[in-house]
Structure formats: structure tokens, C-alpha cells
Chains A and B, each alone.
Chain A
Amino acid sequence: MIKFENVSFNYENGPDILKNINFTLAPGSYHFLSGPSGSGKTSLMSLLYLGHRPTSGRITMLSQDTKHMTREDFFSLRQKIGVVFQNYRLLNHLTAFDNVALPLRIQNKPEREIKSNVSELLDWVGLGDAQNSLPPTLSGGQQQRIAIARAVITRPKLLLADEPTGNLDSEMGYRLMRLFEQLNKMGTTTVIATHNQDIMERYKHSKLLLDNGSIYSNSKKDLLIKTIRDVY
């Protein structure tokens, strides 16, 4: 379970990017996170993958209260979270294979297991021939697929993806969305930050709307609150 209680966040005493956020994500649930540019999607994702601590409020991640976690707890919790960063954040000196293998190596998996799992996944995302290529020699779409493969290779309990289909053609985009669906069916809680209306309409999942640092779900009550706020 993931729970945000009265969470606010700002960067170095600047204005609040996220204001008094409250929501709960049930284990194995699937959500789309959308909102206009600058609404705080990336900041919210960063709190979800424990890249930052909230300025105030309480975050419970995978049933662990992050306020009372030790440094070691943070690392072991992060190993259960797969993240597709908006700018991919690949290590440019490592091959596609080594980038995808990174989370498994951090978890000290045997090299034999790493070889078979990574090769299989890279084949699946259409990068079987580019295993030994360095990210700078690949296209944006290929780099994005490496980032996605790295996020899902460990079958995480929570998958966070920031615009995961932004640089992909529609066929590959839908293919990867099916991969996320499959992972979700296996119990992975999934949060996809996207602007892509087609994808949100095609896959009928819960929608979280971020607007001006506040969050609204697609429930009628929340939408009414948002409309009233927009008017006044």
C-alpha cells in the first residue's frame, strides 16, 4: 500500500510544488497520473521513488512509514521500485545490456541468471541486436526502451514511469503498455505519468489529475471539487 497524508513539497524553501496531497494506492492497482506542464508530476514521482523527502506530511511506501526508515531501509525499499525516468538516466559508458543488468547486479543476482534474463528482455523490447551498443549511439526511442527494460527487469512491486511512451511509435508504445499490464496483473502497483489521452482512454484505469500542486482522482466528488476551485 502507498499512502500520502497531507504531503507538501518544495525545493529549498521555494514555493510549494505539491500542496497538502492525500491519496492511497492499493497494492496491485494501476493509475495514470496526468496534469498540465509544471503541475508537479515529476516532483510527485520523485517522492514516490524516494528521490526526495517531503517538506511536510507522511508517506507510507509499500506499507513502510518512510519517516522512520533507516538509510539501509531506503535502499532495500528502492530495490522494490522500478522507475522509468523522463530523461531515461542511462549510464552512457555502459552497454544496453549492462544498463538493464544494473538493478540485478545491485541485488547480487548470479551472473548466469542476469545473462539469460537481460538478453530475453532486450529481445522482447526489440533491442536484441543492440545489446552491446552504448546509449549515445542509439535513438531516443531505443534509449527509452532500455530505460523501461531496466525498470521492469526485477519485477518490482511498484512501477513508476514518467512519460514512458513519449519517444516511441504507437505500435511499440502499446506493446510496452501491454508489458506494464502484464506486470500489474502479477501484482505490481503501477503509476504512469502521461499526457497521452489515447493511452488513458484505451486502458480504463484510475486517473490521478495533478493541477497547481493539488491532486484529484477521477471520482465524481473530486472532479466537482476541482470544478469549484477552477471557477473561484
Chain B
Amino acid sequence: MSSIKRKNFKLGLDLFIKIIDIRFENMRSGYDLPLEKSPDTKFLLILVTLMVFLAVLSLSGSLALHDMSERWSSGLENKVTIEIPIETKDGHLLSQDTVKRETERLQIKLENHPFVKSAEILEDKDMGKLLDPWIGQDLLFSEVPLPGLIALEIKENAPTTLDDFRIDLAEMSSYANLEDHQEWLSELIRFAGILQSLSLIISVIIIGTTITAIIAAVRARMAIHKKEIELLHLIGAPDIYIAKQFRRHMSIIAFKGAILGTFLGLVSVFILMIFSQLIDSPLIPSLEISFISFLMILAFPLFFPAITSVTAYQTVLRSLKDML
């Protein structure tokens, strides 16, 4: 049994080597057209590098914003805040002690409510952190009247709805206001969405510019090597044979440019990520890219040569139609 397996393995290996051998035998370096000597090859390489670099930055921005929106949404999911304001609905100011007492009383009631998983009072220190970006660190809590805040976490399979809970809350405290964050969160997410769309539009413009540059470069090369192309046609080279040479040449340039551009782009993104984490401010969120987003960026060295390949091939085929 094992000898048969060994024999089959050897046969398979021989066949594989033969296929590889034939494949390499039929491969050769260089082109029938002097494409490598085209004067704008370096320029095209730099252009593709820059385009890919910009595309990496743009896509990273878009993906980071997407990931950030997700974090905001999931971070506030099942979370609401209850406020005991310093001023009643009819305009009377409450004392700090009243606010504090009312907050503590409500918190005890809330902890026993079937809708609530946990209820925590935000201490002065926590509120100070929240207000820090606007009014600085020198806040004297005794001098500034602050509302009472309770952070609520809602049970995942709560038996009542948020609207039912609002009614219960009004019965528990006549002062309490419920803030479910949806209003400002949706505004924030909408703003992030606009920025994200802008990044995507920039990415599309970058891809469009790259395609236009490839078309122009292919046409320029075809004009330069018109006589050689005519000769290939006269010897019997079909359009596909000529188009393949352009496709290979342009794809190699695009691949080199895409590798370089992606590398430079990722280095820049990582530097930005490190800087964003060093800035300790709740107003400026840290730039983070998920692993899947990172993989998407890593696909650029394949994506750009692929669109270059298709563009170059189709451009040559269309241009050759006018030649006999």
C-alpha cells in the first residue's frame, strides 16, 4: 500500500516538475517592443506611487472613521444617562444637597428596576474629566452647581421598552430627565459618514486619475512604437499578442509603484496612529484601524496592477482597431 502511495507521489511530483519546466521554458524576459526604454517609465512609476500613497491615506481615513463610528455605536449601545438638573422645569434652582440626595435616592430605586442592569452615579471627579476640555482643570465643584448624573446600563433582554421606562422614571422622580444619546450620536455618526463618503470620493478620484494616466501613457507608447507595432502586425501578430506586451509592461510598473506607495502610506498611517494615541483628549478620538481594514489596504499592491492591467489591455485593443 505504502509503495503504491510512494509511486503515485513520485508520478505526481514528476508531472508537476514537467509542467513547471514547460512553463519556464515558454517564459522569456523582455518584450518584442522596446517598452522598457520608454522615456516616461520613471515618471509613471512616481505617479503610481503617489496615487497609491494618497489612496492608502484616503482609504485609511475612511476605514478609521467607519471603525470609529462602530466603536461609538457599540460603546453606547444599551447605555443611557439620567440627569437630575440643577433647575426644575418651572425655573427654581435646586441646592447641591437636594440634587445629591435626589440622585442617590433615584439610584437605589433604579437598581431594583427590571429594566436596569446597573446604575452608577457619576462622581464629581468623573464629571470634572468630562468638562475638562471646555472649562479646564481648575473647576471648584463647591462653587459651580452641577447636575446629578446616573449612568444606566440596560438589560439585554429587558421586559419593558425604553418608552415604558420613561413613564416609570417620571413616577420615581419628578426631576429626572432621560438622555439616550441617540440625538447627538446620530449627528456625530452622520458627520463621520459625510467624512467617510468624502474619503471614498477622493479614493475614486485617485483611481480615476491613475486610469487616465495609464491610458495616456499607453497611447504615448503606441505612438512612439507605431513602426514596430506595424511590423508585428505584418508578421502576423494579432492584437491580443501586442496588447499582452503592453499589459505586462504597465502592470509591472503599477506593481512596483503600488508596493512603494502602500509601504509609504502605511508608514504614514502608523505614525499618525501613534501621534493620535499620544494626544490625551476625549475630544480627539484616537486613530485605529481594524485588522480587516489593514488587510484591505494591503490588497493595494494587487488592486492597482489589476486595474492597470485591464486599462492597458483595453486601451491597446481599442487603439489597434484603427490599424490594418
A interface residues, Cβ below 8 angstroms from B: 49-53, 71-72, 74-81, 83, 89, 91, 93-94, 98, 102-103, 105-107, 110-112, 150
Contacts and interface: CB of A to CB of B under 8 A. Distances in A.
Contacts of A103: 235-236
Interface size on B, as a range, is 20 to 34
B232 A106 contact: yes
A121 B206 CA distance: 51
B236 A93 contact: no
Given A89-B231, A91-B231, A93-B37, A75 B238 contact: yes
B53 to A, nearest CB: 33
Nearest to B227: A89
Contacts of B238: 72, 75-76
B228 A106 contact: no
Interface of B: 22, 25-28, 30, 32, 34, 37, 227-228, 231-239, 241, 321, 324
B26 A111 contact: yes
B236 A107 contact: yes
Contacts of A150: 235
A78 B238 CA distance: 10
4 closest cross-chain pairs (CB), A and B: A79-B236, A78-B236, A93-B34, A75-B238
Contacts of B321: 71
Contacts of B22: 110
Nearest to B25: A111
A78 B234 contact: yes
Interface hub of A76, A80, A83, A91 (most chain B Cβ within 10 A): A91
A112 B228 contact: no
Given A52-B324, A106-B232, A106-B235, 14 more contacts: A51-B324, A77-B236, A78-B235, A89-B234, A91-B34, A93-B34, A94-B30, A94-B32, A98-B32, A102-B32, A102-B232, A103-B235, A103-B236, A107-B236
